[in-house]
């Protein structure tokens, strides 16, 4: 069944590759960036709105006086915001939503449903239903926290009740509806610290270095805000991998920082090369002040898992070049390939000895949104800071206090992720069955994705070692590239839009993540049940 459903993407892609648009002979689909339709010279304007024709639409008040001009316009707004792009929820997804609406209205399409393989939203995928049914340990505790009267209900196991009581006792008014401390609920930060110590084989973790966040994204953006300063040649540069998760490029654009690209090696399964880091750093220092190095491990969108040796090399590089390390580790439980293993940057840092563990500044991030949990909507996460200057740490605490606190239900869920059922507790066996089944299914889908995509003409895909994505390379003929260029589109955006319009499969073009010039890709979420199921 799984192979048959995955074949859907294979068949549909072959159809796309063989369509006339690749040769310039087939039908055309108007792109989202095409100019609006306007009437012919002889057609009455009354039947077509001025807005659709791109003409200014004057509005008059009842007394015939033109209204005052807007204070905020595209010309007067913050210019950095206009530079922000976020491909994961960009034009492709907007068109997918339109197509879903059209289908619901009975408009005929070449497909019966839109398959959204653009984003890592596990709850939107039926494959996660077994774990996230109402028997889930997480949902039981959250139900108890949300409606404490259920604590008297005998249908809930005692370990779920004990966790709910502990969380509620840590909340103001014993309620999830109250504010928490800006850094997060103290008992949750203590549990996070214990989790990190256990994960890293006993490396100490101070709860005071833990900041609970609104998903990992919130922590990443907060750290970038602390790092960015300067103007001109002194403006802060931040090194990010290419391909990258668009959060980084979007945040840097908004903050007015310099994006410093270093390229992952696609020929070596998206590995990192220190020589490439050196090239990128040396070039960047000619026009900015590189201060931070961001790593995503396991990788998004590329699905690679970095080796321990690679992490050691990166730490030495950061120490020598005085770079602040940011380790995005939200997929740390999503490791599938034989011979691959997740190594936290903190653990490796401390095992390298005081020369590094006492000096290298590090912020690492985790989330409730990925791994086997997939609880994206709760927006739970944490960051741990290592070797941060105490005065800067005070400024960090001040900065997070401006937003009052992360969502308290998300903090509660984060506590359950780091403090799951233990051996001997009534929920343990069922929880482990669910966890194991989910991770096994994700590993199977990752392998299936690689296998099937590599059978499709014009597509090549590296092994998906971890995370929840593949980033296959696609071959686009010259005629199609020219047609895309004529329409003002990136060729892979053109490809993905054609795929969506003709098959209903929603992918994200590689240009939204960054890629080497002359290469084209798309990101595909490997946990999509509708294709892989």
Grade residue 469 by pLDDT with cuts at 50, 70 and 90: confident
Q: Residue 54: in which H helix or E strand, if any?
A: none
pLDDT at residue 121, rounded to an integer: 60
The answer to whether 254 touches 84, Cβ cutoff 8 Å, is: yes
Q: Residue 369: in which H helix or E strand, if any?
A: none
pLDDT at residue 374, rounded to an integer: 73
pLDDT tens sequence across 20-29? 443 334 433 3
For residues 248 and 122, which has the higher predicted lDDT (pLDDT)?
Answer: 248
Whole-number Å distance between alpha carbons of 158 and 427: 9
How deeply is 507 buried, as exposed, middle or buried, from its count of CB atoms within 10 A (0-12, 13-18, 19+)?
buried
Grade residue 128 by pLDDT with cuts at 50, 70 and 90: very low
Q: Residue 290: in which H helix or E strand, if any?
A: strand 289-296
DSSP state of 265: B
For residues 442 and 212, which has the higher predicted lDDT (pLDDT)?
Answer: 212
Grade residue 14 by pLDDT with cuts at 50, 70 and 90: very low
| Residue 337 φ then ψ, to 5° | -70, 140
The answer to whether 331 touches 321, Cβ cutoff 8 Å, is: no
- Alpha helices (H) in 204-245, listed in sequence order: 215-227
pLDDT at residue 277, rounded to an integer: 96
For residues 150 and 15, which has the higher predicted lDDT (pLDDT)?
Answer: 150
DSSP string of 18-79?
HSGGGTT-S-----TTSPPP---TTS-GGGS-TTTTT-------TTSPPPPPPSS-TTTS-H
Mean pLDDT throughout 56-79?
A: 68
pLDDT at residue 58, rounded to an integer: 54
- Coil/strand/helix, residue 365: strand
Residue 29 CB contacts under 8 Å (≥ 6 apart), including other chains: 497, 498, 501, 502
**Which of 86-100, 290-304, 346-360, 364-378 is predicted least confidently?**
86-100
Read off the pTM.
Answer: 0.80
Grade residue 32 by pLDDT with cuts at 50, 70 and 90: very low
**For 97, what's the count of Cα atoms within 13 Å in the CB-facing half-sphere?**
6
pLDDT at residue 39, rounded to an integer: 42
- Alpha helices (H) in 359-516, listed in sequence order: 390-401, 408-418, 428-453, 478-486, 491-503
Cβ count near 309 (within 10 Å): 10
- Coil/strand/helix, residue 482: helix
pLDDT cut 90: percent of the chain above it: 43
Whole-number Å distance between alpha carbons of 294 and 238: 7
- Coil/strand/helix, residue 131: coil
Mean pLDDT throughout 289-299?
A: 94
Please state whether beta strands 324-328 and 473-474 pair in parallel, antiparallel, or not at all (unpaired): unpaired
**pLDDT of 451 higher than 60:** yes
Please state whether beta strands 508-509 and 522-525 pair in parallel, antiparallel, or not at all (unpaired): antiparallel
pLDDT tens sequence across 307-345? 999 999 999 999 999 999 999 999 999 898 888 999 999
**pLDDT of 87 higher than 70:** no
**Which of 122-136, 376-390, 483-497 is predicted least confidently?**
122-136
**Torsion-angle region of 324 (φ positive above 0: left; ψ -120 to 50: alpha; else: beta):** beta
For residues 159 and 112, which has the higher predicted lDDT (pLDDT)?
Answer: 159
For residues 87 and 281, which has the higher predicted lDDT (pLDDT)?
Answer: 281
Mean pLDDT throughout 221-232?
A: 91
Mean pLDDT throughout 358-367?
A: 95
The answer to whether 472 touches 524, Cβ cutoff 8 Å, is: yes
**For 508, what's the count of Cα atoms within 13 Å in the CB-facing half-sphere?**
31
Domains of the chain are: 2-132+434-532 (3.90.1150.10), 179-417 (3.40.640.10)
């Amino acid at each position: 069944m799984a192979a048959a459903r995955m074949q859907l993407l294979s068949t549909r892609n072959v159809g796309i590759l063989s369509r006339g648009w690749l040769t310039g002979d087939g039908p055309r689909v108007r792109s989202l960036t095409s100019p609006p339709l306007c009437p012919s010279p002889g057609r009455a304007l009354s039947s077509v709105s001025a807005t659709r024709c791109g003409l200014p639409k004057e509005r008059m008040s009842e007394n015939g006086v033109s209204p005052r001009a807007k204070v905020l316009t595209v010309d007067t707004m913050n210019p950095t915001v206009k530079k922000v792009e976020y491909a994961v929820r960009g034009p492709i997804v907007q068109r997918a939503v339109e197509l879903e609406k059209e289908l619901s209205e009975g408009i005929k399409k070449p497909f019966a449903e839109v398959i959204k393989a653009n984003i890592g939203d596990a709850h939107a995928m039926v494959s996660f239903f077994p774990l996230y049914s109402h028997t889930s340990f997480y949902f039981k505790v959250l139900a108890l926290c949300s409606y404490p009267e259920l604590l008297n209900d005998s249908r809930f196991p005692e370990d779920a009740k004990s966790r709910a009581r502990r969380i509620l006792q840590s909340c103001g008014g014993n309620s999830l509806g109250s504010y928490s401390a800006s850094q997060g609920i103290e008992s949750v930060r203590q549990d996070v610290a214990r989790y990190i110590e256990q994960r890293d084989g006993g490396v100490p973790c101070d709860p005071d270095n833990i900041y609970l966040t609104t998903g990992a994204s919130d922590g990443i953006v907060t750290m970038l805000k602390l790092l960015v300063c300067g103007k001109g040649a002194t403006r802060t540069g931040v090194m990010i991998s290419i391909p990258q998760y668009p959060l980084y490029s979007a945040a840097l654009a908004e903050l007015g920082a310099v994006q410093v690209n270093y390229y992952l090696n696609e020929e070596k399964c998206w590995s990192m090369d220190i020589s490439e880091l050196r090239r990128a750093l040396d070039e960047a220092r000619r026009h900015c002040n590189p201060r931070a190095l961001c790593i995503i491990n396991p990788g998004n969108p590329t699905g690679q898992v970095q080796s321990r040796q690679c992490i050691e090399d990166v730490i030495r590089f950061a120490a020598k070049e005085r770079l602040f390390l940011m380790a995005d580790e939200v997929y740390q439980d999503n490791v599938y390939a034989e011979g691959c293993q997740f190594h936290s940057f903190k653990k490796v840092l401390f095992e390298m000895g005081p020369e590094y563990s006492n000096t290298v500044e590090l912020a690492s991030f985790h989330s409730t949104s990925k791994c086997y949990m997939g609880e994206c909507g709760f927006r739970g996460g944490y960051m741990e800071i290592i070797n941060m200057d105490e005065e800067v740490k005070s400024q960090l605490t001040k900065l997070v206090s401006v937003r009052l606190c992360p969502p308290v239900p998300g903090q509660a869920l984060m506590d359950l992720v780091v403090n799951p059922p233990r051996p001997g507790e009534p929920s343990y066996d069922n929880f482990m069955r669910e966890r194991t089944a989910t991770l096994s299914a994700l590993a199977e889908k990752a392998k299936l994705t690689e296998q099937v995509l590599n059978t499709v003409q014009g597509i090549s895909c590296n092994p998906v070692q971890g995370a929840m994505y593949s980033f296959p390379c696609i071959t686009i003929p010259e005629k199609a590239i020219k047609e895309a260029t004529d329409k003002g589109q990136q060729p892979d955006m053109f490809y993905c839009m054609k795929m969506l319009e003709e098959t209903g499969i929603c992918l994200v073009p590689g240009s939204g993540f960054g890629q080497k010039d002359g290469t084209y890709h798309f990101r595909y979420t490997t946990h999509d049940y509708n294709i892989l199921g």
